[in-house]
Copies of this chain bind each other. A is one copy, B any other.
Amino acid sequence: MAKLSEATGVPVASIKFYIRAGLLPGGELLLPNQADYGDSHVRRLRLIRGLIEVGGLTVAASKRVIDAVDSDLPLAETFEIAQQTVSDDLDPALLDPAALRRIDELLPGWKYSALNPGRLAAARVLTTFEAVGQQDELGWFTRYADAALLAAEADVDELVARSGREAQSETVIIGTVLGDALFAALRRVAQEHVSSGRFGTPPASDKSTTVNEAR
């Protein structure tokens, strides 16, 4: 276990916690106080840390998606579990029906189920957007839908390139969880890039140097 900790940089106490919580299988017992951990443990431990630290999942949520990877559920169900785990659990009955209808109108020709957690969450964003006095006159929602379609095409292409249920279901989990973090990160960089091009303003502070400017 000390070596597993060394290989991954995860403290022994955390490793013990993950084993007790059922996130990480125990090692093969060699002696009563010595167990053998292999490459699969290293990889699984990195996945757990990625889900929790980068994806912001709770331990319980991480267990849910890891159980799905380890199961023999059809890929479509693993995908549904991943989507639900990273989404707020919204009751459609409490959402504004007009907002749900507006979201469907914004996505003409798209095929999805009425209970897709993203559909419900998008309706809630629309309701909030309007409640705070904003109006979508310039097609902000439609342009975000175009961007989301690009990302989803990239996600599905990654999936198709994998072979075997375990590799595919791992990709579903990683893509769902890390994809949110990656897009949010790149949007912040893109906002600075687009603003600087549009307004010609330097970064607000000069504690930082500008990257890529000279390319």
Contact = CB atoms under 8 A, between A and B. Distances in A.
A28 interface: no
Interface string A77-98: 1011001001100000000000
Contact-residue bracket for chain A: 35 or more
B161 A137 contact: yes
Nearest to A153: B194
Contacts of A153: 143, 194
A138 B155 CA distance: 10
A189 B116 contact: yes
Contact of A140 (B124, B147, B154, B203): B154
**Interface SS, A side:** helix
A196 interface: yes
Given A128-B178, A129-B178, A149 B190 contact: yes
A36 interface: no
Nearest to A119: B189
A125 B191 contact: no
B187 A119 contact: no
Interface of A: 43, 46-47, 49-50, 53-54, 74, 76-77, 79-80, 83, 86-87, 104, 107-122, 124-125, 128-129, 131-134, 137-141, 143-158, 160-161, 170-171, 174-176, 178-198, 201, 203-205, 207-213, 215
